Amino acid sequence: MDFRTDDHTLALIEQVRGFLDEHIRPAEAVLEQQYAAAADPFDVEPPIKEELKAKARAAGLWNLFLPDPKWGAGLTNLQYAPLAEITGHSIDLAPETFNCSPPDAGNMELLALYGTEEQQARWLRPLLDGEIRSCFAMTEPAVASSDPNNLQTTIVRDGDDYVINGHKWWTTGILRPHTKLIIVMGVSNPDAPAGQQHSMVLVPRDTPGIEIRRSLPVFGFPHHAYGGHGEVVFADVRVPAANVLGPEGGGFAVAQARLGPGRIHHCMRLLGHCERAIELMCRRAHERVTFGTPLAEQGVVQEWIADARMDVEQARLLVLKTAWLMDTVGAKGARVEISAIKVVVPKITARIVDRAIQAFGGAGVSNDLPLANYYVEARYLQIGDGPDEVHRRAVARRELRKYAG
């Protein structure tokens, strides 16, 4: 066992951190202004995003998430982890700057793994170039979507087409102008055995029959930079049969390939939230004096800081070990570890950020600091991509299996 970070990764860490400090943090206020200036912020693509992307690509910091060197940076998950973490410091800008933001990263991964050459040419190439954006329509309001067997959207073969009918929500990104592709999951083979009834299809955003009802806020945040979270109705939406992604009936397997990396990437970025929250809390602790003593010398605040540091060190090691497992035994072999970090990391992030908020008082709950937004991100991820209860169950069942019968 060896806990040393390799030199290539160390160099990348320095480069990404430098880029963040030099280019991205100063751009945060610019982004906010460009959204504020818009009549409808869901109707604009703020120019600052494109400027940053151009700079990042020029610096060679592009598609860092994609392990396949044919398409991306060719880093292992273990190498990508500290880079993704740094992007978590500036959640609205940094991930997209390096073309590593959800849901596009996961979608690109799918297209790289399962796309036909044509699909890759039409969708993957412009996504990798950061020219278009995409979204992923899986969750449905009417059913517990954490069990995909419950999904009710239908994808019915009709001649050379599929016809899609269904009601989705939390389709993140669908409200951005750049978004041109929706990957839709639904029931294509209702009579097949369980686990082989679903398919994914590629649906151009401008296909007739797609109605975006509204964008869902999260704790009051509209999440413009994410392209919102759409509630979407598909009414007789018709796409060519060639638009199926991966094998027909193979939607579950394809989804697993997407969700594993998606979940660990979320965790990596949340660790960045944690680190920035700790930094903010410490700086505040040095500056703020109550009852004659700086917060930094008060035992309760020291306890917050110590607990935060201990939580984040442990969680990061588990994330890194999980990344290493994905690199060595694959996402499927690391499935339960991914469930574990998916529970652990949002929980500690929420707790750490909550205490940083408390250290700041009123400023903490306002938008003068990124903390309220970090909290909401962490809270949302206790539900999104599978609620904690489902992931805990997966962890428990593997443990119990060791001693069964």
Q: Shortest gap between Cβ of 204 and a copy of itself (angstroms)?
A: 25
- Is the separation of the CB atoms in 49 and 122 below 8 Å? no
Indicate the residue among 90 and 145 with the shorter CB distance to a copy of itself: 145
- What whole-number distance in Å separates Cα of residue 176 and Cα of residue 131? 12
Check residue 17 for interaction with a copy of itself (CB under 8 A).
Answer: no
Considering only residues 333 to 372 of the shown chain, the ones binding a copy of itself according to CB under 8 A are 337, 340, 343-344, 354, 357-358, 361-368, 372
Indicate the residue among 213 and 332 with the shorter CB distance to a copy of itself: 213
Check residue 171 for interaction with a copy of itself (CB under 8 A).
Answer: no
Considering only residues 252 to 291 of the shown chain, the ones binding a copy of itself according to CB under 8 A are 278-279, 282-283, 285-286, 288-291
Q: Shortest gap between Cβ of 72 and a copy of itself (angstroms)?
A: 20
Among 47, 302, 330, 332, binds a copy of itself (CB under 8 A): 302
- What whole-number distance in Å separates Cα of residue 401 and Cα of residue 126? 45
Check residue 14 for interaction with a copy of itself (CB under 8 A).
Answer: no
Check residue 77 for interaction with a copy of itself (CB under 8 A).
Answer: no
- What whole-number distance in Å separates Cα of residue 5 and Cα of residue 299? 34
Q: Shortest gap between Cβ of 183 and a copy of itself (angstroms)?
A: 18
Indicate the residue among 135 and 202 with the shorter CB distance to a copy of itself: 135
Q: Shortest gap between Cβ of 185 and a copy of itself (angstroms)?
A: 16
Indicate the residue among 74 and 222 with the shorter CB distance to a copy of itself: 222
**Residue 22: CA atoms inside 13 Å, Cβ hemisphere, count?**
10
Check residue 201 for interaction with a copy of itself (CB under 8 A).
Answer: no
Check residue 43 for interaction with a copy of itself (CB under 8 A).
Answer: no
Buried-exposed string 365-401: b where 16+ CB fall within 10 A, e elsewhere: eeeebbbbbbbbbbbbbbebbbbbeebeebbeeeeee
Number of residues that bind a copy of itself (CB under 8 A): 94
Minimal CA–CA distance to 66: which of 56, 58, 57, 76?
A: 76
Considering only residues 101 to 140 of the shown chain, the ones binding a copy of itself according to CB under 8 A are 139
Q: Shortest gap between Cβ of 376 and a copy of itself (angstroms)?
A: 6
| Segment near a copy of itself (CB under 8 A); pick from 54-62, 65-73, 257-265, 319-327 | 319-327
Q: Shortest gap between Cβ of 211 and a copy of itself (angstroms)?
A: 18
Name the DSSP class of 238: E
303 exposed, middle or buried (CB, 10 Å; 0-12, 13-18, 19+)? exposed
Indicate the residue among 68 and 279 with the shorter CB distance to a copy of itself: 279
Indicate the residue among 1 and 58 with the shorter CB distance to a copy of itself: 1
> Cα dihedral sign for 211, 111, 328, 398?
positive
Check residue 402 for interaction with a copy of itself (CB under 8 A).
Answer: yes
Check residue 303 for interaction with a copy of itself (CB under 8 A).
Answer: yes
343: which residues sit within 8 A by CB, 6+ positions away? 388, 391, 392, 395
CB atoms within 10 A of CB 123: 24
- Is the separation of the CB atoms in 273 and 353 below 8 Å? yes
> Which amino acid is present at 185?
M
Name the DSSP class of 38: S
- What whole-number distance in Å separates Cα of residue 248 and Cα of residue 175? 28
Indicate the residue among 130 and 346 with the shorter CB distance to a copy of itself: 346
Considering only residues 150 to 169 of the shown chain, the ones binding a copy of itself according to CB under 8 A are 169
Considering only residues 206 to 225 of the shown chain, the ones binding a copy of itself according to CB under 8 A are 216-222
SS3 for 241-289 is HHHEECCCCCHHHHHHHHHHHHHHHHHHHHHHHHHHHHHHHHHHHHHCE
- What whole-number distance in Å separates Cα of residue 166 and Cα of residue 152? 7
Considering only residues 369 to 398 of the shown chain, the ones binding a copy of itself according to CB under 8 A are 372-373, 375-376, 379-380, 382-384, 387-393, 395-397
Indicate the residue among 208 and 291 with the shorter CB distance to a copy of itself: 291
Indicate the residue among 184 and 282 with the shorter CB distance to a copy of itself: 282
